[in-house]
Chain A
Amino acid sequence: MPDDLVLRNVTFALFVELGRAPTADEVAAAAGCDRAEVVAGWQRLHAGHALVLDAVTGAIRMANPFSGVPTAHRVHAAGRWWFANCAWDAFGICAALHEDGQIETSCPDCGESLRVAVHDQRPDDESLLFHCLVPAARWWDDIVFT
């Protein structure tokens, strides 16, 4: 049975390779272990905030900064489109991949599309503002809402 750190790294590497959240069966095959061991490891990683599982299906909801489900925050980087969990994570995808990128999202107030290119870690439109509603002490109270 792989330790949880190895399982976590296999999961994230497979996410990047596939361009989507891997299933437990896919991670089990890559890690050379049983599906049940992956599921149990994912639950421990979820409890440790190393990833976020869907409360109903147990599938990967977040492998931060990547999102396992479609969101309003899309990023084009490393030759493909990704979903991010939030605007912070959208920049985080460029950071994690060590790539420039193109972020597409929308202003929650007016719905206007916002496109930001990231080059050498800098956004090309510096007029935009980021708002974080939830204080840091409560980010993990409800990470999906945050």
Chain B
Amino acid sequence: MNLFRSGEHIERWLSGRDPGATIPVRKLSELAHAWWDDRLSLTWRPHTREQNQAILDRLGLTGQFWRLPET
């Protein structure tokens, strides 16, 4: 899970491997803040799969790549 200078850099880094998913850094920041915001709260409880999937869905990170495993 890395930051890249551009799409060209990602393609070169992949060197023919199947790509994963690419999102703009602004979307990444939104995702990180939604995902980790409560991590140090004294009332923190583990996120359920459904809670985490809802975060991804709300940010438009949909499709098979972003489907969390069923537990």
List residues of chain A with CB under 8 Å of any chain B CB.
Answer: 5, 9, 12-13, 16, 48, 50, 64-65, 86-98, 105, 107-110, 112, 114, 116, 118, 121-123, 125-138, 140, 146
List residues of chain B with CB under 8 Å of any chain A CB.
Answer: 1-7, 9-10, 12-13, 17, 19-33, 35-37, 39-40, 42, 44-46, 56, 64-69
* Contact (A110, B5) CB under 8 Å given A50-B46, A96-B36, A130-B22: yes
Inter-chain contacts of B21 with A (CB < 8 A): 131-132
Q: Is the CB of B29 within 8 A of A107?
A: no
* Distance from A31 Cβ to chain B, minimum over Cβ atoms (Å): 14
* Distance from A133 Cβ to chain B, minimum over Cβ atoms (Å): 4
* Contact (A105, B45) CB under 8 Å given A64-B39, A92-B35: no
Inter-chain contacts of B68 with A (CB < 8 A): 136-137
Inter-chain contacts of A131 with B (CB < 8 A): 1-2, 4, 10, 13, 19-22
A129-B19 Cα distance, complex, nearest whole Å: 13
* Distance from B41 Cβ to chain A, minimum over Cβ atoms (Å): 9
- Write 23 A-B pairs (CB below 8 A) sorted by A numbering: A13-B40, A64-B39, A87-B2, A88-B35, A91-B33, A108-B2, A108-B13, A109-B9, A114-B3, A121-B29, A123-B25, A123-B29, A126-B25, A128-B3, A129-B6, A130-B3, A130-B23, A131-B20, A132-B1, A132-B20, A132-B22, A132-B65, A146-B1
